[in-house]
Amino acid sequence: MPELPEVETMRRGIADAIGMRVERVEVPQGRLRPLLMQPPPRQLAAEVRGCVIEAAERYGKRIGLRLVGSASSRQPTAAGCRWLVIEPRMTGLLLVSTAPSQEHVRLRLGGRCGRGRPQELLFWDRRGLGTVRLVDAAGLQQLCGPSRLGPDALAIDSDTFASRLRASARAVKVALLDQRAVAGIGNLYAAEMLFHAGIDPRVRCRQLSRPRWARLHTAMQEVLAEAVELEGSTLSDATYRTALNEPGRYQSRHRVYGRAGQPCPACGTVIRRIVQAQRSTFFCPQCQRR
DNA sequence: CGTTCAACCTGGGCGC
DNA sequence: TGCGCCCAGGTTGAAC
C-alpha cells in the first residue's frame, strides 16, 4: 500500500546513498517473474554496475534513481544518464543498513564512503508485485511523464487541482485514485482526506462546489504533509517499514480507514465500509456530506 | 466518456 | 490443528 507519504519516506531514507557508486548488483535467483525487472536481472545488473547514483526522485508512488556513467559506457555525460525506476506497488520496500537476505535485490555501494553512508541499498517485495526498471530519458517520460502521472498531490495548487477533477462524472473517491489526474493518492489517504474535508466519497466530482474543492485541496495537503512527517502508515500486517526498517507512525492518526463498525472520532456515528471500483471505502455518514 | 473485471502475488484472519 | 476461502489494494489492459 505504499502511497505518496510512504514512498516519499523511502526517498528521504535513501538520501545518503546519493553520490555513491554501485559496485555490485545482486538479484535473488528463482522467484523473479519476468515482469519484475526490465531488462532481465543479469542484463540490468551489468548495466547498473559502476554507475553513480546522482539523485533520488519521487514520481507519484514511484522512485527514480538517476544513474550516471558505468564501467562499460565510459561516458559520464548526460547522454549516458539512466533511471532505475522502482515501483513498490503493494508490498515493495526500499531499505538501507539492514541485514540483507537472499530475498533482496541488492545494490552494493562504494566510492565516497563516510559517516552515515549506507553500504547497501535493498529492494524487497513480499508479494512480488513491484517492479524495477532501468530506462533512459524517453523511458522515464513514458513511465512517469504527464501521459501517466498528473501533478504531484503535495505540489499541486488549489485551482489546478480543482480544474483537473471538477468536470468528471465519477465519484470523488474514485477520481482521487486516478494517477493521471493527480499523482500519489491511494486508497488509504483518499479516505482520510475526504473525512477531513467532510465530503461523502460517493459524491460525483461535477457536483462539488468550488469552496468544497478548495476544502478538499487543503485537507489533501494537510493529511499528506502530516503523514510524510510521521513517515507513513504501518498497518496491522506490519509490511511497510521506513528505509531504516522502522514502522511509520501515521496509523495512529487514521480517522476512518480500516475502522468500519467503530465510532467516528468526531461524532461517534458508526463508520461505514462500502465498495467503490472494487476497493473498500471507509467514511462517516454523519460527518461526510453529499 | 465511464464502469467492471481479471491478472499479478502472499499472508493474515475467519468459519468450519 | 488445519483446511479452504476471502481480503488487502497499485497498476494495467481488455471488454462492454
* Chain A residues 226-245, Cβ below 7 A from strand C: none
Which residues in A35-67 are b (16+ Cβ under 10 Å) and which e?
Answer: ebbbeebeebbebbbbbbbeebebbbbbbbbbb
User: For strand C, is any atom closer than 7 Å to the CB of A90?
Assistant: yes
- The average pLDDT across A204-218 equals 95
Q: For the segment A239-253, what is each residue's pLDDT rounded down to a tens digit? A: 899 999 899 999 999
* Model pLDDT, residue A98: 60
* Model pLDDT, residue A105: 84
All domains in chain A, ordered by first residue = 4-144 (3.20.190.10), 158-253 (1.10.8.50)
Q: For the segment A71-90, what is each residue's pLDDT rounded down to a tens digit? A: 555 554 555 789 999 999 88
Measure, in angstroms, how far nucleotide C6 C1' is from residue A255 CA.
25
CA-to-CA separations, A181 to A60, A141, A160, A225, in angstroms, rounded:
11, 16, 10, 19
- The average pLDDT across A152-173 equals 94
| Mean pLDDT over the full length of chain A | 89
* Model pLDDT, residue A242: 93
* Model pLDDT, residue A99: 60
Residue A197 amino acid letter: A
- Protein residue at shortest CA distance from C1' of B7: A129
Residue A15 amino acid letter: A
Angle, in degrees to the nearest 10, between helices A158-165 and A210-229: 110
CB atoms within 10 A of CB A275: 8
Q: Range with the lowest mean pLDDT among A95-104, A166-175, A258-267?
A: A95-104
**A198 half-sphere exposure, CB direction, 13 A CA radius:** 10
